Chains A and B, each alone.
Chain A
Amino acid sequence: MLDYLWLIPLLPLAGSALNGLAGKRLGSSFVTWVGCGSAGLAFLAAAAAVLDLVRAAPQNREVLISYFTWIACGDFVAEAQFLLDPLSGVMILVVTGVGFVIHVYSIGYMHGDGGYYRFFSYMNLFLFAMLVLVMAGNFLMMFVGWEGVGLCSYLLIGYYIDRKSAGDAGKKAFVVNRIGDVGFILGVFLVFATFGSLDFAEVFRQIASAPVRFPAETGVGLLTAIALLLFVGAIGKSAQIPLYVWLPDAMEGPTPVSALIHAATMVTAGVYMVVRCAPIYSRSEAALGVVTVVGILTAWLAATIGLTQTDIKRVLAYSTVSQLGYMFVAAGVTAFSAGIFHLMTHAFFKALLFLGAGSVIHAMGGEQDLTRMGGLRRYAPITYRTMCIAALAISGIFPLAGFFSKDEILFSAWAGGHPVVWAVGLATAGLTAFYMFRLTFLAFHGPERFGDDVRHHLHESPPSMTIPLVILAILATVGGFVGLPPWMGLGPNRFAEFLAPALAHAHRPETHEISHSVEFVFALVSVLAALIGIFLARYMYVGNPAAAGLLAARARGPYTLLYRKYYVDEIYDRLLVNPIVVVSREMLWKGIDVGIVDGTVNGVGASMRVWGGLLKYVQNGLVRSYASWILTGAALLLYYVARMRG
């Protein structure tokens, strides 16, 4: 299968082209087959390829195939090539697997929509771009995928073209991502300027093999600069402070899109990139520090905002931002495999949460406001149960997937010597459990807060939607078992072992052994934090429904601050967006361009006109006056000649 590596990304691309060009004419069943079929085949191909990889000896688990030269200019050479190693192997499985499930779910969710073919075309295109991103063998190819997923995100957020808010959100996502992309591409340039190559293999080999090259502060400074510039890209793509503002707005897109792009895959690209560049990051203490701090701050801030939001999808969006923060914390404390582990489990349970939310929205006829739901477990039992599993998983309850990955991150933070990070992470875990169960209780428990017209409409979703929910619920339950921690006494962490060859070039700091019993205590503590969050949520939203309102009223200031998301959007608009538009229009265009520059040009023209206006009186149209001028001229000429002679 490894020889046909190109099939994995090309299948979705073909599906996208087919659906985009002919889907409208050939009808929705054709679109369904092509759209889901290409995603499914891509998953099978990916699975076969990864299976081949697993069969190979660990040191041979790297396949790099170049197809043709894409750009070549002097040393600046970028091949069109695909790389498959354990890291990208995990990623392609997550992308195609979760992607396929979400495609299937979309059959039901998007049923009857006017742009059905367009939707599947975009979704397939996204899979292609995401696969290019994770399978890229050099920085520039990665950038292709990097921007490609941004484009698909733009297209899919703005999928409902009637809605102005959707168009705004799409544009915002693209532009904010572009800000990150500029940082990323400058980082790539710095990589090229430093190492004279764009290939991962070559760059990492140079870094790893020649520590002499970066002996002094300058070398590390260079690596730090590269790492930070690349990290700007990650901040944009993975919605970290200060560029996270696009992700909550991105919920304007259809729910499967939120699940696939804005939860499971695209937004994790930044984490993937940092882990891919582990050889760079692991050698720069400063860069790691920045990654950790940004990650933990984002995790905490987004979680606090998530506490008060009432839109079901926005709660999940902030939760995603927060979980991405965890992944960056993992990378920041050089627990790279833990970051990828959490990326994977997060893909399962967060996709499940979004799909469940989509199922709820579908049932409610488009309603997204939690305050108008309640008691839904009676009407949508499958959705309810799967949502509960997902909420438990994200809260980190043993033995669901989220427990293993989150616990590993928190423990790594402590073991890496960052107790503050650990503490904040633990508190965030408690908050996470709280707001996730707040969501669950508000939607599925308690009194029904909707009218009869909605109640008549309520129904459990069709099988094409519930089956994906069940599949993801199973994954969210057992997904963590691939990376059982050593303290359970079942051998070393096999997920970390699998990833190890891909991280071979990373710099490993000295670690001191911590006994398994200590680890066990830490795991216990984090489960405890989650349980506290859950019971608090239960107390406030089931046991004592008035408590939440009372608390909000009591702490009006902080509540409003959180509810309005710290006013970040407003601040950006005031300080950045509006001034730029006004200055451009009033000063640059009307002032400088039309006023000064064009004014000067037209002024020169006008002054010519003035001179001409004066001189025109000589040309008065009277023959006799012309004759006099001629005569005068001739006389003057004669006089002049005579003077010269004389």
Chain B
Amino acid sequence: MGLHHYLILSALLFAVGAAGVIVKKNIIAIFLCIELMLNAANLSFVAFSRYLDQVHGQIFVFFVMVVAAAEAAVGLAITITLYRNRRTLNVDDADLMKW
């Protein structure tokens, strides 16, 4: 298994995540898709780290995980507030911020 296998898998995962973000309406699902994209990026980082024999990539993975955790915390808090106020998890219903 060479580097390119990992990269292809990572690209596929990222594509699935991105497609999910665009297609899905449920805010939880979108969150999950975003996590998928982040983890696809993580996979690439780790693969490159191994391939280049450098530790930087793995450090970055930790950063990404921390950011993802923080993002999940803030995001879920927003989601709950949104649900309390609007009784919905559909992102298309939260469109007050337009023109």
Contacts and interface: CB of A to CB of B under 8 A. Distances in A.
Query: A–B direct touch, CB within 8 Å, in complex?
Result: yes
Contact of A620 (B21, B23, B98): B98
Contact of B21 (A616, A621, A622, A624): A624
A631 B18 contact: yes
A628 B18 CA distance: 9
Given A628-B22, A631-B18, A631-B22, A623 B99 contact: no
Contacts of B30: 623-624
Interface stretch (B2-10, B47-55, B57-65, B89-97): B89-97
B92 to A, nearest CB: 6
A469 to B, nearest CB: 86
Interface residues of B, number: 15
Most buried by B among A616, A619, A624, A628: A624
Contacts of A616: 98-99
Contact of A627 (B21, B92, B95): B21
Contacts of A624: 21-25, 30, 91-92
Contacts of B94: 621, 623
Contacts of B97: 619, 621
A628 B22 CA distance: 6
A321 B96 CA distance: 81
Interface in B64-99: 91-92, 94-99
Interface residues of A, number: 11
A627 to B, nearest CB: 5
Contacts, number: 33
Nearest to B97: A621
Top 6 A-B residue pairs of the complex, sorted by shortest distance between their CB atoms? A621-B95, A621-B98, A616-B99, A623-B91, A627-B21, A619-B98
20 contacts: A616-B98, A616-B99, A619-B98, A619-B99, A620-B95, A621-B96, A621-B98, A622-B91, A622-B92, A623-B30, A623-B91, A623-B92, A623-B94, A624-B24, A624-B25, A624-B30, A624-B92, A627-B22, A628-B22, A631-B22
Contacts of B23: 624
Nearest to A620: B98
A623 B18 CA distance: 13
Interface in A606-627: 616-617, 619-624, 627
Interface in B12-31: 18, 21-25, 30
Contacts of A617: 99
Nearest to B94: A623
Given A631-B18, A631-B22, 17 more contacts: A616-B98, A616-B99, A617-B99, A619-B97, A619-B99, A620-B95, A620-B98, A621-B94, A621-B96, A621-B98, A622-B91, A623-B92, A623-B94, A624-B30, A624-B92, A627-B21, A627-B22
Most buried by A among B18, B25, B91, B99: B99
A617 B96 CA distance: 14
B20 to A, nearest CB: 10
Interface string A622-639: 111001100100000000
Contacts of B99: 616-617, 619
A253 B66 CA distance: 93
Interface string A90-127: 00000000000000000000000000000000000000
Contacts of B95: 620-622
B85 to A, nearest CB: 16
Interface string A153-177: 0000000000000000000000000
Contacts of A620: 95, 98
B26 to A, nearest CB: 11
A624 to B, nearest CB: 5
A517 B1 CA distance: 147
Nearest to B18: A631
A444 to B, nearest CB: 89
A628 B92 CA distance: 14
B43 to A, nearest CB: 19
Nearest to B25: A624
Nearest to B91: A623
A523 to B, nearest CB: 97
Contacts of B98: 616, 619-621
